[in-house]
C-alpha cells in the first residue's frame, strides 16, 4: 500500500477548511480537536487528521480501528456561525452521513469500470441510523460528533469521521467487529486518501448549507439512504427495547419503527437489524 500523502495547501485551497493539522500518529483526532476547540482564536472550520490513531474512539465504549490506509479525521465547526441553530444539532449526524454517502458513491462511481462486472450495481452506500455508513451491507465508516468543554468550546462541535479505505477488512483485528468492510474490498482498487478527504469535506460543506437553509431535500435524502428501511430491527435505549419494522427516518432525524402498537419515534439508542 502506498504511503498516504496529504497536502495542507491543497486542502485549504480546495475545501471550506480554514485551519489544518496533519499528524503521522495521534491517540484520537477527536481528543486533539477537544484541546484545540478551547482556543478562542482558532480559525474555523478546523481539520485535524491523523494517518494512524492509537486510541481511535467510536460511540459509547467502542474503539475505532485506525491502521495505515484508513482515513481518520475531525472537523471543528461553530454551527451557529454557519446558520445552524442548536435545535438542529441532533440532525448533524445524519447530515454528515448523507455527505459521506455522496462522497463515497462518487468515488465508487469513478472506479466503477474497475469493479468486476458481476458486482456492478451491487456496490451501494447507505446510512445505518444514526451514525454509520454501510457499503454492500457492511460498515465502512462511522461518525462521532462531540461537544465538550466550556468557554469558546461550548459553541463548537467536533465531527469525527473514520472511513475504512485501503485498510482491507481482511487484516482487521478480531475486536474491530465482524461486520466491517473497507472501500478497497468493494472496489478491488487502492484509493487516494486525499481525494476522498476532499470529496467528503466538499460534500459536508454543501450538506451543512442545506441543513442551514432547512432544505427539505436533505431529510428526503437521508430517508432514501436509510439502510434499515423495511428491515426488522431491535432498538435499545437506556435498557428499554423496541422491536418492529423500520419505516424510515423522520425529518427531525428520529428513526421510525412500526409494530402492533403503532409507529415509534426513536430519538436515540443503538439499533440492530434482526
Residue number closest to ligand BTN, CB atom: 142
How far apart CA 214 and CA 98 sit, in angstroms, is 15
C-alpha cell at 85: 441553530
* x/- track of binding to ligand BTN for residues 183-202 (CB under 6 A): --------------------
Of 53 and 221, the one with the shorter C-beta distance to ligand BTN is: 53
User: What is the rounded distance in angstroms from the CA atom of residue 50 to the CA atom of residue 24?
Assistant: 6
Position among 11, 15, 30, 102 found at the interface with ligand BTN (CB under 6 A): 30
User: Which three three-digit cell numbers place residue 210?
Assistant: 442545506
User: Which residues 119-138 are close enough to bind ligand BTN by CB under 6 A?
Assistant: 131-132
- Residue 176's φ and ψ, nearest 5 degrees, are -75, -10
62 contacts: CB under 8 Å, gap ≥ 6: none
Which residues lie below 8 Å from residue 153, measured CB to CB, with a gap of 6+?
Answer: 34, 37, 38, 147
Among the residue ranges 55-63, 118-126, 181-189, 258-266, the one whose residues contact ligand BTN (CB under 6 A): 55-63
Q: How far is the CB of 256 from ligand BTN (least distance, A)?
A: 22
Check residue 64 for interaction with ligand BTN (CB under 6 A): yes
89 versus 212: smaller Cβ distance to ligand BTN: 89
Between 115 and 182, name the residue whose CB sits nearer to ligand BTN: 182
CB neighbour list of residue 136: distance below 8 Å, 6 or more residues apart: 122, 123, 124, 181, 186
CA 255 – CA 28 distance, rounded (Å): 29
Alpha-helical (H) ranges within 51-192 are: 92-110, 183-187
Specify the DSSP class assigned to residue 15: S
Residues from 136 through 165 that contact ligand BTN (CB under 6 A): 142-144, 160-162
* Closer to ligand BTN by Cβ: residue 52 or 264: 52
User: Terminal CA-to-CA distance of the chain, rounded, Å?
Assistant: 36
In 10 A of CB 172, how many CB atoms? Answer: 18
Residue number, 139 or 207, with CB nearest to ligand BTN: 139
Pick 69 or 244: Cβ nearer ligand BTN: 69
Smallest separation, CB 133 to ligand BTN (Å): 9
Is residue 28 involved in binding ligand BTN (CB under 6 A)?
Answer: yes
**DSSP assigned state of 225:** T
Establish if 59 lies at the interface with ligand BTN (CB under 6 A).
Answer: yes
**Is position 272 an interface residue for ligand BTN (rule: CB under 6 A)?**
no
Distance CA 234, CA 272 (A): 5
Q: What string marks each residue from 65 to 94 as x (binds ligand BTN by CB under 6 A) or -?
A: -------xxx--------------------
- What does the binding site for ligand BTN look like in residue numbers (CB under 6 A)? 28-30, 53, 56-59, 62, 64, 72-74, 131-132, 142-144, 160-162
Amino acid at each position: 500500500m502506498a504511503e498516504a500523502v496529504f497536502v495542507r495547501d491543497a486542502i485549504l485551497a480546495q475545501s471550506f477548511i480554514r485551519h489544518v493539522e496533519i499528524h503521522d500518529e495521534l491517540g484520537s483526532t477527536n481528543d486533539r480537536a477537544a484541546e484545540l476547540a478551547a482556543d478562542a482564536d482558532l480559525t474555523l472550520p478546523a481539520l485535524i487528521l491523523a494517518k494512524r490513531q492509537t486510541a481511535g474512539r467510536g460511540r459509547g465504549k467502542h474503539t475505532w480501528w485506525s491502521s495505515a490506509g484508513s482515513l481518520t479525521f475531525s472537523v471543528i465547526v461553530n454551527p451557529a456561525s454557519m446558520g445552524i441553530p442548536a435545535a438542529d444539532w441532533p440532525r448533524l449526524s445524519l447530515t454528515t452521513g448523507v455527505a459521506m454517502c455522496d462522497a463515497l458513491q462518487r468515488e465508487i462511481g469513478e472506479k466503477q469500470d474497475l469493479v468486476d462486472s458481476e458486482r456492478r450495481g451491487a456496490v451501494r452506500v447507505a446510512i445505518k441510523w444514526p451514525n454509520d455508513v454501510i457499503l454492500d451491507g457492511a460498515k465502512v465508516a462511522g461518525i462521532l460528533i462531540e461537544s465538550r468543554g466550556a468557554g469558546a468550546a461550548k459553541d463548537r462541535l467536533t465531527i469525527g469521521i473514520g472511513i475504512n479505505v485501503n485498510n482491507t477488512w481482511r487484516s482487521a483485528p478480531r475486536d474491530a467487529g465482524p461486520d466491517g468492510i473497507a472501500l478497497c474490498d468493494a472496489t478491488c482498487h487502492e484509493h487516494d486518501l486525499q481525494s476522498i478527504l476532499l470529496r467528503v469535506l466538499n460534500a459536508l460543506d454543501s450538506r451543512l448549507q442545506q441543513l442551514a437553509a432547512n432544505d427539505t431535500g436533505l431529510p428526503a435524502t437521508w430517508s432514501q439512504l436509510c439502510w434499515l428501511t423495511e428491515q426488522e430491527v431491535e432498538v435499545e435505549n437506556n435498557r428499554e427495547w423496541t422491536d418492529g419494522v423500520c419505516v424510515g427516518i423522520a425529518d427531525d432525524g428520529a428513526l421510525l419503527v412500526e409494530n402492533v402498537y403503532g409507529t415509534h419515534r426513536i430519538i436515540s439508542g443503538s439499533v440492530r437489524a434482526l
